[in-house]
Structure 1
Amino acid sequence: MRNRFMIEGVSVSPDHFINGKRVSSPSTFETRCPFDWANKLADISRGDAETAALAVTAATNAFPIWANMTSAERRKYLHRLSDLIEANQEHLAIVECMDMAMLHESLRLRVIARGALNFRNYADLASEHTERVWSSKGTANRVIRHPAGPAVIITPWNAPFMLSTWKCAPALAAGNTVILKPAEWSPLSASLLGDLIEQAGFPPGVFNIVQGLGSEIGNALVNDPRVKRISFTGSVATARVIGKAAAENIVPFTAELGGKSPLLVFADADIDAAAKKAAGQYDDSGQVCMAGTRIIVEDSIRDIFLEKFHAYADAHVLGDSRDATTTMSALIHPTHAERVMGFIDRASAAGDIIERGGNRVGGSNFIEPTLIIPRSNDSEAVQNEIFGPVLTFQTFSNETEGVALANSTAYGLSAVIYTGSAERAERVGRVVRGGTVWVNTFLVRDLTAPFGGIGISGLGREGGDYALDFHSDLKTLQILEDSVV
């Protein structure tokens, strides 16, 4: 095991966490600070197929111990972990800020706390679960949840701590053991989670963390026949590869695959509130899967909306994620910044209008807040997920046309609607495609509600009992009434 390293005064391990111990690999990959790319944070253990097999073995061996506990017993572990997350909120926030570039204030005040809430809420949901009981055709019936087995959790580089806890919490609460594979561009807060798991006293092997490239260790994990559940958040292309492996082994698989969500604004809306929320889609430099990146505004309010939107967008400040005055920081990696700039350059070359921004500034990973007015709805910038600080702007003349534009991509993760009409909110909210549709608000989440996408935005649902059911084998037990005493 290599020595731990320090980030802003916080000790972090560069190694895997397997069977309750740190395990190193001879080869490594580096992680750097996105807003200060010259600052190499660490060399991280780069796992391979052997590492994956070691972690799955640990999870398989620990499964009977964890699965045979009652929900109430597992709840104690998960509550202890939640308490430890809250106690270490500052450390987790600064490490993720340096590793992923999400704003420190946002992490400290909101995002890390959500991670603690994830573990507490799922622990409570699982322990308070009531079996469905009914009579049918002379039999007494019950639906029983059984833990499924080792679960592989693969998380993306954006909001890595929150998304890791969101996906691992229901797996653990349901009685499964876990192998977490964080993204190689932002692995450090997951490593800290391993430390907290150890402090919470989890039995060895219940929770494991392996680091490395998806094509190497990730591929080995999803192809291991001992794995009984796979939960993935990331790209459509990677999901297709994982889906084939899951199908080969007949393993249930959920995938959340990003979006190209509409932000639909009607003339009867609070235009100022809608414009402010639209400019807020640049938060985290647009690296938010649910962001309303396609602004679609009724013709009659086009000019006043754009005036207000530009005023709010002008207020964004690019800079160091640790600085409280910064509202937009760097993109995660130069490779990703180049990808985003490719969309902008191709849009300009194809005749789309770059209404604002469109340039790299202040460093290799910084891109200005950019707004594109496409030449047509078929524009690449409209149809494909960019995952950067790039929005498109379109107009419509009536409700039917607005809904048609909103539903005109292959994605369907979420949607945002602004209207002052309760009837329209209900009517349009029902027909706009999206796993979650917000009206006159954005990113308000009830953790018991189903979450997931339609179309190429995903497969399956997370959240509340939906996630606990996914991580369980459901059994119907039927007993002939009056046949036993």
Structure 2
Amino acid sequence: MSERHDRAVVTVAGVAVDTRHWIDGRRVASSATFPDASPMDGAPLAEIARGGAAEASAAVTAARAAFPGWAATGREERARILHAIADGVDKRTEELAAVETADNGALLRSHRRGVMPRVAHNFRFFADWLLTLGHEDFETRGHSNHVSWDPAGVCALITPWNAPLMLATWKVAPALAAGNTVVLKPAEWSPLTASLLADIAAEAGLPAGVLNVLQGYGEEAGAALVSDPRVARISFTGSVPTARHIAGAAAANLVPVSLELGGKSPLLVFADADLDLAVELAVEQYDNAGQVCLAGTRLLVESSVAEEFTRRFVEKAATLRQGDPRDEATGIGPNIHPDHVARIDGFVQRALACGARAVIGGGPNTELGGFYYLPTLLTDVAPDAEIVTEEVFGPVLTLQTFDTEEEALTLANGTRFGLAATLLTGDQERADRVTRQLVAGTVWVNCFFVRDLQAPFGGSRQSGIGREGGTWSFDFYCDVKNTVTAPKGFAHHG
């Protein structure tokens, strides 16, 4: 899978990747490294620079030094450079897709056709939004009010392993567009494409120090980064326990945070829904081997159609081919890491021990090895069972039934999460009633995963804090200022 060039550079899927940090426009090594392996087969990919407090401090120092110059750069020039980064992503789509598939195991065809184009779009969208960002001036008793968005400073961005480059650039692009400088800390299980992004940004003309990439473990590099008092903003996508540590560090320095923390989203199917569509969207929840924060993992189906829904679901799920994510015919690939597979299986085995029934799946795919978990559907689960209240983050769905709209809402809102919800019904009035009562940051009605960057994105309850997207991103990454000017009082000179 990988081949050593020297101590710093490896070849992954035919692409040269530097394994060092990117700090102040140059590559920086660490005295220690950590291993990175492919979830496709467990083969070693690289030894990655293992950053700690010293490297985190150096990255923040570089970002802080670069901030005045980048903040003073005009909107048009910042937008031009972001478009140039997007052009670089487009030129390297095949390389980025191949490396990310090797590194995190997601389907190669998805990376080629959807994920990497979205990476480029992230930069283009926020570059263009920057040029239109504004608020109409207004008057107060004859005084004029002018709203502006001032860059905040150094942004610490900590990103997950399930969609590494797309979710990193969802944060990096608006932070840079706003005039901030960035220290990006990618997840240690999928660090490679962040390194390639640093190369692309440098080639696009982004000044040294504006984007820094800090590799390492969360408890070492990440902890040092978020506790640095020079950091002005922290954005994190990941687990609730990690978010608690980050929020504590941020609180000590009164630093604003944006937290996107996964979920346990419901997918509600009423008897008047299009069952073919409902089944199609339900099986789609196995996308990326279930490693999608927005996935509707709790199937809530009206009792009168539950048997028919289940029959069609089993037939549809049986057409999913599990295997090598580089194969065009593969529908579901591996999970990220053996430790994560063991975690997934722990949830399932505890559920089975408590009386749940596996309609399909129920364990690892022993034919494919330790990284592959069978698409699983569990029934006969209690409303308060661990399997329906805790995020599994794997190809594991549960099916519960309901008889009334009120019961459906009680089940749907019955967890500590509130990231997303999917509703299938043929009744517009019901759709309106139910969506008003669902606790979720995003609700899809008779569709799934339709995402627009101008829409607000974030979670309710323990699915997160804050919203990003469109102007909401600039509200977070900036200090929003209102300037009030009196109608008279300026001295005339000259």
TM-score by length of 2: 0.97
- The SS at the match of 2:102 is helix
Amino acid at match of 2:28: V
The structural deviation recorded for 1:131 is: 3.3
Structure 1's unaligned 5+ residue stretches are: none
- The SS at the match of 2:84 is helix
CA distance in 2: counterparts of 1:286 and 1:262, whole angstroms: 14
8 Å CA contact 1:316, 1:328 repeated in 2: yes
- The SS at the match of 2:286 is helix
Alignment pair present for 1:130 and 2:130: no
Partner residue of 1:36?
A: 41
8 Å CA contact 2:134, 2:147 repeated in 1: no
Q: How does 1:261-340 map to 2 (within 5 A)?
A: 261-340=265-344
Q: How does 1:42-81 map to 2 (within 5 A)?
A: 42-81=46-85
The structural deviation recorded for 1:288 is: 0.1
Structure 2's unaligned 5+ residue stretches are: 1-5
8 Å CA contact 1:260, 1:412 repeated in 2: yes
The structural deviation recorded for 1:3 is: 3.5
The count of aligned residue pairs is 484
Q: Deviations over 1:310-340 (max 9, x none)?
A: 0111111111110111111110000000000
Partner residue of 2:3?
A: none
8 Å CA contact 2:134, 2:148 repeated in 1: no
Q: Deviations over 1:284-333 (max 9, x none)?
A: 11000000000000011011100110011111111111011111111000
Partner residue of 2:362?
A: 358
Partner residue of 1:160?
A: 164
Q: How does 1:27-426 map to 2 (within 5 A)?
A: 27-37=32-42, 39-361=43-365, 362-426=368-432
The structural deviation recorded for 1:137 is: 2.3
Amino acid at match of 2:480: L
- Aligned with residue 443 of structure 2, among 437, 446, 465: 437
Q: Deviations over 1:392-437 (max 9, x none)?
A: 0000001111111111111000000001111111111111111000
CA distance in 2: counterparts of 1:157 and 1:441, whole angstroms: 26
* CA pair 137-2 structure 1, distance change in 2 beyond 3 A: farther
Q: Deviations over 1:352-391 (max 9, x none)?
A: 1222211111110111011111431011000000000000
8 Å CA contact 2:51, 2:220 repeated in 1: yes
CA distance in 1: counterparts of 2:283 and 2:309, whole angstroms: 11
The structural deviation recorded for 1:197 is: 0.8
- The SS at the match of 2:231 is coil
When the two chains are superposed, the root-mean-square deviation of aligned CA atoms in Å is 1.0
- The SS at the match of 1:72 is helix
CA distance in 1: counterparts of 2:436 and 2:212, whole angstroms: 41
Amino acid at match of 1:29: F
The structural deviation recorded for 1:4 is: 1.3
Range with greater deviation from structure 2 (188-197 or 122-131): 122-131
8 Å CA contact 1:2, 1:24 repeated in 2: no
8 Å CA contact 1:293, 1:391 repeated in 2: yes
CA distance in 2: counterparts of 1:268 and 1:6, whole angstroms: 53
Amino acid at match of 1:31: D
Identity, % of aligned pairs? 51
8 Å CA contact 1:154, 1:231 repeated in 2: yes
Amino acid at match of 1:331: N
TM-score by length of 1: 0.99
Amino acid at match of 2:33: T
The structural deviation recorded for 1:483 is: 3.1
The structural deviation recorded for 1:191 is: 0.8
8 Å CA contact 1:63, 1:149 repeated in 2: yes
Alignment pair present for 1:477 and 2:483: yes
Question: Which runs of 4 or more aligned residues in structure 1 lie more than 6 Å from their structure 2 counterparts after TM superposition?
Answer: none
